[in-house]
Amino acid sequence: MMKKNLLILGAGGHGHVVKETAEAMEIFDNIEFLDDQLEKAIGKLNEIESFSKEYRYAFIAIGNNKIRMQWIKKAEELGFNIPVLIHPKAMVSSSTSIYPGSIVTLGAIINANVVVEKGCIISAGSIIDHDSFIGFGTHVDCGAIVKSHCLVLGNSKIESGTIITKDDLPSSEDFIKSKGF
C-alpha cells in the first residue's frame, strides 16, 4: 500500500502553518518541504516532478495568490492530488464547500453554506459568515471578517481587521474580469 505522503511547496512562515495543520489532521504518513532554500527542504521547487512517485499529495504554501494558483495547476498536471487542509481546531459548517488547495487554519470560523474556491487561505481567527462565496486564490487574513451573503473576487487579499459587507460586492464586470466564475 502506498504511503500517504504530503509534499509542501514553500517552507516559509505560511509553509510551517500548512505543515502544522497537516500534522494536526493526522492523515499523512510523511510531510516534507520543497523550497529553493534547501536547509529546510528535501529539494527545490522546480524539482517537483522527481518527487511524484514518492509523494501522492502536494500542497502549495506560497503566499502570493497568483503564483500559488500557477503552482497548483502545475502540480495537478503532474498528477499530484491537491488536498483540502482544515485544522481540527477550526470551526467549519458541514454545509460549507471547500475546494482543493485551500487551507483553513487554527481558530478560523466558516459558517453555513459558504463556498471557498480552490487555492484559498483562511487564516487564524478569520470569520466567514453564512452564504458567502470566496473566489479562487483568495487570502482571508487573520482576524478579517466576511459578513453573510458576500462575494469576494478571486485572487483577492482581505487584510487583517477588514470587515467585508454586502456593500462591498463587486460589479458583475469585475467578477467576470477576475474569472471568479
More confident residue, 93 or 3: 93
What is the predicted pLDDT for the residue at 39?
85
What is the predicted pLDDT for the residue at 176?
63
Give per-residue pLDDT as tens, 30-57: 999 999 987 889 999 999 999 999 999 9
User: What are the catalytic residues?
Assistant: 130
Reading the block at residue 62, the C-alpha cell is: 506560497
* Residues forming beta bridges with residue 33, ordered by sequence position: 8
Quickly list H helices, the chain.
13-25, 65-77, 172-177
Reading the block at residue 54, the C-alpha cell is: 514518492
Q: Scan for cell 470560523, then name that residue.
A: 109
pTM exceeds 0.85 for this model: yes
Question: Between the CA of residue 133 and those of 22, 66, 107, what are the distances in Å?
Answer: 24, 19, 20
Q: What would the mean pLDDT of 26-30 be, rounded to a whole number?
A: 96
Nearest to 44 by CA among 11, 4, 79: 11
Give per-residue pLDDT as tens, 81-94: 999 999 999 999 99
Instruction: Judge whether residue 179 has pLDDT over 70.
Output: no
Q: Which domains does the chain have, with CATH numbers?
A: 5-77 (3.40.50.20), 85-175 (2.160.10.10)
Question: Between the CA of residue 52 and those of 7, 59, 66, 145, what are the distances in Å?
Answer: 9, 13, 23, 37
Rounded CA separation 100/49 (Å) = 19
